[in-house]
Amino acid sequence: MLATDCVVLVIDDSPDVHRLLAVRLKAEGLKVKSAPTGQEGLEMAEELQPAAILLDLDMPGMDGFEALRALKESPMTMRIPVIMLSGSDNPQSKVTGLDLGAVDYITKPFNIAELRARIRSVMRIHTLMRLLEQRAQIDPLTGLWNRQHLEERLAEEIEAMQRYKRPLTLAIADLDLFKRINDTHGHPAGDAVIEGFANILTNELRVSDVACRYGGEEFAIILRDTNANDAVVVLERVCAALRETRWPKHPELPVTASIGVCDDSVVRGAELATWIDAADHALYAAKRAGRDNIVAAGTRTKLAKI
In the chain, the largest separation of any two C-alpha atoms, in whole Å, equals 74
Residue 108, beta-bridge partner list = none
Q: Among candidates 200, 189, 186, 182, which has minimal Cα distance to 143?
A: 200
Tally of CB atoms within 10 A around 75: 16
- Choice among 28, 46, 156, 217 that is catalytic: 217
Structural domains in the chain, CATH included, are 6-136 (3.40.50.2300), 147-305 (3.30.70.270)
pLDDT at residue 88, rounded to an integer: 83
Q: Do residues 64 and 57 make contact, with C-beta atoms less than 8 angstroms apart?
A: yes
pLDDT at residue 299, rounded to an integer: 66
Q: Among candidates 37, 34, 43, which has minimal Cα distance to 9?
A: 34
Q: Among candidates 286, 306, 265, which has minimal Cα distance to 169?
A: 265
pLDDT at residue 4, rounded to an integer: 34
Residue 217 catalytic? Answer: yes
pLDDT at residue 123, rounded to an integer: 82
Cis preceding linkage at 188, omega within 30: no
pLDDT tens-digit profile, the chain (306 residues): 333 358 899 999 999 999 999 888 887 788 899 999 999 999 999 888 898 999 999 999 999 999 999 999 988 898 899 999 988 888 899 899 999 999 999 988 888 888 889 888 888 887 887 777 778 899 999 999 999 999 999 998 998 898 888 999 999 999 999 999 999 999 999 999 999 999 999 999 999 999 999 999 999 999 999 999 999 999 999 999 999 999 988 888 999 999 999 999 998 777 899 999 999 999 999 999 999 999 999 864 444 433
Question: Helix (H, G, I), strand (E, B), or coil: what is residue 219?
Answer: strand
Task: Please name the amino acid found at residue 246.
Answer: R
Tally of CB atoms within 10 A around 41: 28
Angle value at C-alpha 178, between 235 and 257, nearest 5 degrees: 15
Whole-model pTM above 0.85? no
pLDDT at residue 251, rounded to an integer: 87
How many Å apart are CA 108 and CA 56, to the nearest integer?
10
Residue 213, beta-bridge partner list = 219
